[in-house]
């Protein structure tokens, strides 16, 4: 009898496996829609050169479905007053925060939340990773003096399937076939390293 691989089941020690791990794709830098696949509460332990003290930290796994396949992008949010703008950017992206309005962060609504993000590539010890460059606010109040990005407009569409190469915009780059090693467990970065500081609050 043919085995039904659509249903979760126990594997034997000598079974044959074929499904590749998600998250091993290096995305073309650009704008994408994401879904928070996983959220974990953790503590940040600063290194000797860290610019912030020990604090609570939210570890996010963002699922991005693209023409290249499904990628998992890891992003940490630090619950500290010095990074409040970055927290606001994330909660604005998933629709919780309105412009110029205070927000009590509701982490119970984070898992499964959807939004728009700009992705860049980061190289660390000869390996290339997907990194969050910036989150795009989803609420129209943020765009009263400028045009809403195409990727955010796509997010507003009721039937959006949250996949495909980034919507056409000024950031778009041609699709490429990357040959770097698959993304595995991304090494923890110190907060003060440049790749973690590339996206700044107030950029939108």
pLDDT digits (tens, 9 = 90+) for 72-90: 999 999 999 999 999 999 9
Distance of alpha carbon 202 from alpha carbon 138, whole angstroms: 14
How far is the C-alpha of 93 from the C-alpha of 53, rounded, in Å?
26
Confidence band, pLDDT 50/70/90 cuts, at residue 6: low
Instruction: Tell me the CA end-to-end span of the chain in Å, nearest whole number.
Output: 56
174 — pLDDT class (breaks 50, 70, 90): very low
Least confident window among 106-110, 117-121, 194-198: 194-198
Give the predicted TM-score (pTM) of the model: 0.68
Q: What angle do CA 108, 75, 190 make, to 5 degrees?
A: 125
- Which pLDDT score, from 0 to 100, does residue 19 have? 67
């Amino acid at each position: 009898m043919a085995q039904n691989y659509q249903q979760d089941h126990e594997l034997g020690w000598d079974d044959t496996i074929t499904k590749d791990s998600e998250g091993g794709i290096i995305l073309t830098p650009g704008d994408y829609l994401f879904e928070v696949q996983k959220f974990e509460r953790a503590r940040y332990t600063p290194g000797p050169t860290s610019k912030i003290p020990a604090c609570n930290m939210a570890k996010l796994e963002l699922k991005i479905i693209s023409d290249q396949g499904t990628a998992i992008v890891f992003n940490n949010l630090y619950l500290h007053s010095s990074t409040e703008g970055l927290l606001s950017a994330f909660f604005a992206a998933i629709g919780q925060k309105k412009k110029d309005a205070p927000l009590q962060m509701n982490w119970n609504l984070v898992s499964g939340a959807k939004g728009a993000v700009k992705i860049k590539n980061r190289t660390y010890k000869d390996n290339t990773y997907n990194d969050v460059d910036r989150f795009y606010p989803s609420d129209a109040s943020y765009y009263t003096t400028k045009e809403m990005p195409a990727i955010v407009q796509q997010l507003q569409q009721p039937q959006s399937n949250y996949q495909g190469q980034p919507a056409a915009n000024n950031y778009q780059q041609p699709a490429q076939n990357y040959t770097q090693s698959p993304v595995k467990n991304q090494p923890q970065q110190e907060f003060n390293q440049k790749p973690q500081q590339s996206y700044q609050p107030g950029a939108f």
